[in-house]
Amino acid sequence: MNNDNKTKEKEIKATINACKLCSPLGASIVFRGVKNAMPLIHGGQGCSTYIRRYIISHFKEPMDIASSSFTEEATVFGGESNLITGIENVIKQYNPELIGIATSCLSETIGEDISLYVNKYLRNNIGKDNPKIVHVATPSYSGTHIDGFHKSVKAIIETLVKEKINTKSKKINILPGFLSPADLRYIKEVLEDFDLSFTMLPDYSETLDAPIWDEYKKIPEGGTSIDQIETMNNSVATIEFGKTISNEFSGAFFLEEKFGIKRFNLGFPIGIKETDQFFNILEKLSGLSTPNKHKLVRGRLIDSYVDGHKYLFGKKAVVYGEEDLVIGITNFLFEIGIIPIIVASGGNSGKLKDFIQNNGAYISNNEINILNGVDFSEIEEIAFNLKPDLIIGNSKGYKIARKLNIPHIRVGFPIHDRIGGQRILHVGYNGTQNLFDSITNALIEYKQENSPVGYSYI
């Protein structure tokens, strides 16, 4: 047969240890960041069990996630009855102000009309003190946990924010993306230092990193209140972290399009350049200059760059994880002279390559392998041949670091083989300093431990 007439079969590639997590997981974390809210996964019981395990292992906090618990009958004839029973049980057991319904692969595959079910339930319960109900479509066969995260933020805004309030306000909205509780607390502290009134969505800085309790609480205290969310349209601006967020999934884009609220879309403020951009926006919105305490931290950070340069320059790193975190870490590595030879994510927004190449212009493109939609098997195969000096990412890359016998700097989510993942500060001048010290000391320690001399002075 002539080559021109041959039909090329589409390459089918198996995923081995995906570099991403499921979409309803991201939704569950968002709903935990709303005050007195309860996530409910519409699908099989195993989905909520798996997600609870992952979240509890990282945050070291209790995490209840309700399930509509599909059976074979519900799979064939539909899960409306299961969902209504699930809603009623959640109200009876938890008395939440909001129920966040995230759909699983199973309910999405059979085409469940959740909006119809919810509206029917509310009509049948008029006059009762019903909680707010937010629904988001989160099939795991489409997208990642980050897609589920952003879609849930937008769904909450779309459902709860109804009409423009005609009063003047200097309040801002902050949509921080999937960061650690420590990151969220730091961002709130910075906003307060600029004397800015704000609504952060989501805010799980307390609900997923709480002080010890005297007695068990079914729903942890903290989170963004429904009143705050309902008045997000009465703001002068929205700051949204995440360069790879599509307009389709962006809560800030929705607020701008419907209510005319100016949107500032920024990268994660990791490294000096990105943090400077964040602080410059805050100066404009507040009319204040950056407080001196932050200027001092920035100055110390630059000084540490100088101090540690000889240990870092020219080292080769593998960076992996969620796209926006990977972009932030990679930009930081550019600043300190480390070459990110592999930049990888299970996400597939189509934007990762452009952001990396634009910010790393001084590095030849053939020195950076930028990988979208990959698994850890592919990362390992490429890393083995490139001989990196360190690997930066969540716990799922530990086996690669072990095989290559190189330092593993743990950032992001999930961190299951160390304690304190919820307390890692990644953002701002303070978070950048933490990352800088961790990376530098890991490289020094590796060299020291593998030295035949065993020196004790650097």
Bridge-based pairing state of the strands 316-320 and 390-393: parallel
| Residue 12, pLDDT above cutoff 60 | no
Q: Hey, how many other C-beta atoms are within 10 angstroms of the C-beta on 434?
A: 16
- DSSP letters, 190-220, are HHHHTT--EEESS--TTTTSPPPPSS--SS-
Q: How far apart are CA 458 and CA 385, in angstroms?
A: 30
Q: Is the pLDDT of residue 5 over 50?
A: no
**Of 76-80, 186-190, 453-457, where does the model show the most confidence?**
186-190
For 320-360, what is each residue's pLDDT tens digit? 999 999 999 999 999 999 999 999 999 999 999 888 887 76
What is the pairing mode between strands 369-372 and 237-241?
A: unpaired
Tell me the pLDDT band of 90, cut-offs 50, 70 and 90: very high
Q: What is the pLDDT of residue 167?
A: 63
pTM: 0.94
pLDDT of residue 13: 63
Beta strands at 198-200 and 66-67: parallel, antiparallel or unpaired: unpaired
C-alpha 110/C-alpha 19 separation (Å) is 27
Separation CA 324–CA 327 (nearest Å): 5
Residue range 146-159, pLDDT digits in tens: 999 999 999 999 99
Tell me the per-residue pLDDT of 366-375, one tens digit each, with 9 for 90 and over: 689 999 999 9
* Residue 140: predicted pLDDT: 84
User: Does the 292-448 domain belong in CATH 1.10.3720.10?
Assistant: no
Distance, CA of 137 to CA of 104 (rounded, Å)? 8
**What is the per-residue pLDDT for 2?**
45
pLDDT given at position 296? 98
Taking CA atoms, 371 is separated from 129, 152, 237, 324, 351, in Å, by 49, 26, 34, 14, 11
Residues 6+ apart with CB under 8 A from 97: 35, 36, 37, 131, 132, 226
DSSP secondary structure letters along 257-304 = HHH--EEEEE----SHHHHHHHHHHHHHHHS-PPPHHHHHHHHHHHHH
* C-alpha–C-alpha distance, residues 253 and 357, integer Å: 25
C-alpha–C-alpha distance, residues 353 and 340, integer Å: 13
Buried b (16+ CB within 10 A) or exposed e, 226-245: bebbbbbbbbebbbbbbbbb
Averaged over 219-223, what is the pLDDT? 96
pLDDT value, residue 387 = 94
- In the prediction, which pLDDT does 362 show? 56
Is the pLDDT at 134 greater than 70, yes or no?
yes
**pLDDT score at 72:** 77
What is the CA 4 to chain-centroid distance, rounded? Answer: 46
Could you give the CA distance from residue 221 to residue 204 in angstroms, rounded to a whole number? 10
Over residues 60-89, the pLDDT tens digits come to 999 999 999 888 777 777 788 999 999 999
Q: Is the pLDDT of residue 16 over 90?
A: no
The DSSP code for 88 is H
In percent, how much of the chain has pLDDT > 70? Answer: 94
338: Cα within 13 Å, side-chain hemisphere:
29
Q: What pLDDT score does 70 carry?
A: 87
Region 26-55: mean pLDDT is 95
pLDDT band of residue 363 (cuts 50, 70, 90) is low
* Spatial distance between the Cα atoms of 32 and 100, rounded to a whole number of angstroms: 9
Confidence of residue 107 (pLDDT cuts 50, 70, 90): confident
> What's the chain's average pLDDT?
92
Q: What is the pLDDT of residue 1?
A: 42
Contact 384, 404 (CB under 8 A): yes
103, 42 in Cβ contact below 8 A?
Answer: yes
Q: What 3-state class would DSSP assign to 375?
A: strand
CA 302 to CA 292: how far, in whole Å?
15
Dmax over CA atoms of the chain, in Å, equals: 78
Q: Do domains 172-210+221-286 and 292-448 have the same CATH topology?
A: yes
Q: What is the topology classification, in CATH, of domain 23-160?
A: Rossmann fold (3.40.50)
Q: How far apart are CA 139 and CA 190, in angstroms?
A: 36
Q: For residue 168, what pLDDT is reported? A: 63
CB atoms within 10 A of CB 119: 12
The answer on pLDDT for 28 being more than 80 is yes
Provide the total of helices (H) and of strands (E) in the chain, helices listed first.
17, 13
CATH H-level superfamily of 172-210+221-286:
Nitrogenase molybdenum iron protein domain (3.40.50.1980)
The residue assigned the tokens 């035949």 is 452
Q: Spell out the domain ranges in the chain.
A: 23-160, 172-210+221-286, 292-448
Q: Which residues contact 227 (CB under 8 A, 6 or more apart)?
A: none
pLDDT of 360 reads 64
Residue 403 pLDDT level (bands cut at 50, 70, 90): very high
Percent of the chain with pLDDT over 90: 80
Residue 101 in this model has a pLDDT that exceeds 50: yes
